[in-house]
């Protein structure tokens, strides 16, 4: 493999793994509120508040190949 920047053939290849975590906070549940209204009338709208404020966490992992030139330090 040849570096596109300097033309050197002293290039190493590595696999880089990145882990990304996202946290979302749940809000007002409109579906719960509608079902609560159908079952309990006006006070049932408060059912939409059930579970509000809880955090939902998701994790995603990405792997990619990185080539690193030993002469100029270029990553490609």
Helix segments in the chain, DSSP class H: 30-40
Is residue 65 one of the residues assigned to a domain?
A: yes
**Stated pTM of the model:** 0.48
The token pair that represents 16 in the structure block? 């880089």
Domain presence at residue 75: no
Residue 2 pLDDT greater than 80, yes or no: yes
Q: Does residue 62 lie in a domain region?
A: yes
Q: Domain range for residue 15?
A: 11-69
Structural domains in the chain (count) = 1
- Cβ within 8 Å of residue 62, ≥6 positions away: 17, 18, 20
Could you tell me if residue 64 is inside a domain?
Answer: yes
Whether 76 is covered by a domain: the verdict is no
Inside any domain, residue 26? yes
Q: Residue 47: inside a domain, yes or no?
A: yes
CB 74, CB 52: distance < 8 Å: no
Residue 53 has pLDDT above 80, yes or no: no
């Amino acid at each position: 493999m040849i570096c596109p920047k300097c033309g050197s053939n002293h290039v190493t290849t590595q696999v880089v793994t990145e882990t990304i975590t996202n946290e979302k906070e749940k809000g007002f549940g409109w579906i719960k509120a509608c079902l609560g209204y159908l079952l309990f009338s006006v006070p049932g709208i408060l059912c939409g508040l059930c579970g509000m404020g809880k955090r939902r966490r998701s994790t995603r992992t990405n792997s990619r190949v990185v080539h690193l030139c030993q002469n100029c330090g270029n990553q490609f």
